[in-house]
Structure formats: structure tokens, C-alpha cells
Amino acid sequence: MFYGQIDGFTFEPGYEYELRVQETEVENPPVDASSLTVTLVELVSKTAVSPTTEARPESSGLLGTSWVLESFGPSDNPTAVLPNTEITLTFDDAQINGNAGCNSYFADATFGEDGSLEFGMMGSTLMACLDNDVMQQESDYWSALAQVSSYSLAGNQLTLFFPNGTLEFVAATMTESSHEEEAEVVDWETAVSILNSGEVAQIFQTHSLDVTLTLADGRIIQTVEPAIDDIFTAVQACGEPCVKIIMATE
């Protein structure tokens, strides 16, 4: 293309041109100059074209996806997520949200060129979990997430990079089978009996009094509590067998 060196022609961005030009040989041209001059003879056509729009980085594979954390920390010595806990991450337009094992969280997400990625100030719910290890894991996860600078996406694996290591995620669809087991519905008294046995790993309460108990072996129990927060009263009364239960509510 000679757009910058064609005599009689001025190039305007946003157009595609078809030109007829005349080339003339230059006698004794300078060493650093062309031996030809190019002159416009005819402007055959000038067609407006749509500007090239690069795909938004978040639309290249992360927008609308959900992930479950498998491990995080130094690449050569990662820490696996604690048993019976789940840390999730969802990309929703220019934001992320998820659950860090105890509290829900959200933040702005800024995508840059070449896989760069940064998260803004994190917001979260303020529920305290009974298990200190779960709370520490949540704190460590948020600390790593706040330092993320880039990502790598390969199939069902997502890696977020931060200065001291990586966060390794697997696509949420790969873990759905663990949530698809049909729940067993029991009355309140039976649910409390199961609770006191020490088999319960997680509890989720809704505003409609529905309570879901996830057992350590993966079984799911559903019940209805007589009054709001009765499940939390039952956990406190349970004592030692229920100390490590992860509890959440809407």
C-alpha cells in the first residue's frame, strides 16, 4: 500500500480504496529514498467500512461462566480446599461474585490485553462461621483474589495468577453431579437427630423456613424448621459434634 506516499491522494481512515496510479522512476534518488514516485491517476472507488472491533476480553471465554476452586497458593506447593467446603467464582459482565466457603462476595472485574485481569475492592456478607479453619481459608482466598493480575483458560480449567502463586479452578459444570443427588425429606425431629449424630457438614437455611443439611458422605437432607433460626439454636445445643458445621442463610 502507498497511502502515505501517493502524490495527489489523501488517505482517510474508515474507507477502503481502489486506485489507479502511475509509477515514475526517479533519476539519481537519495540513498535512503525510493527510486519510484507514485502519482494518483484515478480514484476508482471509496467505500466506507465498519471499524474493526476487537472482542471484549471477558467475552472470549469467561463471561457468564462459573467455577469452583480446587487449590491455591504457591504453584509448587498448592493448598487444597478444605473438605466439605466449596469456594465459587462467577463472571457476570464486568463483575464477579461467588461464595468463599462461608460468606458471599462480589467485586468489579477489569480485563486488559493479553490475559490481564484485576479485581476491584471486594464486598461481602458478614456471617461468622463456627469453624476457624474455614474462616482462615476464606480470608486467604480473598487475599489471593485481590492480588490477581492475569488468567489462563484451558478447557474446563481456569488459572488465576497472583504474585505468590495461583488459584486453580474447575468449571462448575464438572462438579454439578455432587449437587444433583435427590434430597431426602424428613421431619424436624428426625433432622435434629441427624444433626446430633455429628454427620452434618453444611447447613443452609432459607427465609421460608426450609433447611438443607448436607452430610459428610454427600447425602442431602431437607426439612422445615418450626420457626426461623431454630436450626441455629439446634446447632448450639448440639455442642461438640456440630462445631465444624458450615452454616449459611439467605
pTM: 0.53
Tell me the pLDDT tens digit for each residue of 25-35.
Answer: 767 765 444 56
Amino acid identity of 194? I
pLDDT of the residue at 5: 52
Separation between Cα atoms, residue 64 and residue 94, nearest integer Å: 10
The predicted structure's pLDDT at residue 68: 93
Q: What is the pLDDT of residue 55?
A: 39
Q: What is the pLDDT of residues 180-235, one digit of tens each?
A: 457 889 999 999 999 999 888 888 877 778 888 888 777 888 999 988 888 888 98
Percent of the chain exceeding pLDDT 70 equals 77
What is the distance between the alpha carbons of residues 147 and 250, in angstroms, rounded to a whole number? 29
- Per-residue pLDDT at 53 exceeds 50: no
Name the pLDDT band for 59 (thresholds 50, 70, 90): very low
Instruction: CATH 3.30.720.210 in the chain: give the residue spans.
Output: 181-249
CATH of domain 181-249: 3.30.720.210
| CATH number corresponding to 57-176 | 2.40.128.270
In the chain, CATH 2.40.128.270 sits at 57-176
Question: Dihedral, CA atoms, 185, 190, 194, 197, nearest 10 degrees?
Answer: -170
